[in-house]
Structure formats: structure tokens, C-alpha cells
Amino acid sequence: MKATLIDFGKDAAVYTIDGATRNELENKLNLFFGSQDLPLKKDNGNEKIYEKGNKFVRFLFGVFIKYFKVKIQIEESSGTFTVKLIRDMNLILSGGLVGLNASRKKFGEISDAFKMYFSA
């Protein structure tokens, strides 16, 4: 299984992954995000949401409460998967400007770890 970064922004990263079946990819996604302490919260086939923390408590207390959410979109084309990682948090859920910068930094770290994990 090999991951290649094809697009990266502040709130999204797009990878192509080949050399795997759909089940292998989904299992590896769950293992990776589990190791990042982001359990699977929602699975709609081609869209998955991995989330840590409580959204409501984060909204009330801001940056003092840990909360992080990543949405994954998967598309398949002739044996190659396109996986889009999206930092699915607005300014309020990020905990203001301080939390926004911290969540973008964490997203960058997860994106780098994702590429290394899927290339190994």
C-alpha cells in the first residue's frame, strides 16, 4: 500500500492510495486513527468521521476542553483510492484563534503521520 500526497491546504489533504482492497483500506484507516486517539464516530460508506472529545462542552468552555474532528472522504477509481482528510471544525469549535492554530497544527501532524503510516 502506497500513499501519495496530491493536494494539501490548511484544512484538507488529498492522498492517492493504491495496492489495497476497500476492506484493507478501511481497516488500516481505523487502525491509524485509533492510534491517533480519534475513534470512528460515523461511517456512511464513502465518508467517515473520526472524533475525539465532546462538541457541546468544547462550545461552552472553549480551548480548555479537548476536541478534534477529522472527516474522511473516499473515492475509488480503477483500483486506486483518493482519500481526502478534512479538518472539520469551525472557529467556534476550534476554541477561538488560539484553538484554531492548535487544531491546524494537529491536523498537519496527523496528515504527516498518515502519509508515513500508509507508505510503510
- Give pLDDT tens digits for 5-34: 888 888 899 999 998 899 999 999 999 999
**Domains (ranges, CATH) in the chain?**
2-119 (3.30.310.80)
Distant-in-sequence, close-in-space partners of 23: CB < 8 Å, separation ≥ 6: none
Helix (H, G, I), strand (E, B) or coil at 73: strand
- Give pLDDT tens digits for 39-96: 999 999 899 999 998 888 877 887 778 888 999 999 999 889 999 999 887 766 666 7
Alpha-carbon distance 72 to 56, whole Å?
22
Q: What does the pLDDT read at residue 93? A: 65
Long-range contacts from 26-33, C-beta under 8 angstroms, 24+ separation: 28/1, 28/117, 28/118, 29/72, 29/83, 32/113, 32/114, 32/117, 32/118, 33/70
Q: pTM for the full model?
A: 0.86
Reported in sequence order, the residue ranges of the chain that DSSP labels E, i.e. its strands, are 2-8, 12-18, 40-43, 47-53, 67-77, 80-87
